[in-house]
Amino acid sequence: MSKSLISLSALSALALSAGLLSGAAQASEDLAKAKFCVGCHQIDKKLLGPAYKDVAKKYAGVAGAEGDLAKKIRGGSKGVWGGAEMPANSAVSEAEAATLAKWILSLK
């Protein structure tokens, strides 16, 4: 196989994976909207709760952050971002919480 054909195949694979990732990101944002997370959180600005990008910065490089965040999404938290309490969201399944946590932590 020629180098140009291999390079074209590699570029096609990258483009495809980028499209899939952006589709996954949109699906995760849609999930956040469906579960009413956006009533308190936005991607890049603080509302009642911190911006998702601020959460991603706070937990960048922290071991176990994805699992911890998923637990907070389902079970709520208090005192992590000051005095405000994040209520539990039992409408979010464990799988959905994991998806949301992974998405939030990917926002940089």
Q: Which residue ranges make up the annotated binding site for heme c?
A: 37, 41, 86
Task: Give the side-chain half-sphere CA count within 13 A for 26.
Answer: 6
Rg from Cα positions in the chain: 17
Tokens 């009642």 correspond to: 48
Question: Which residue positions form the known binding site?
Answer: 37, 41, 86
Residue 107 near residue 32 (C-beta atoms within 8 A)? no
d(CA 58, CA 53): 9
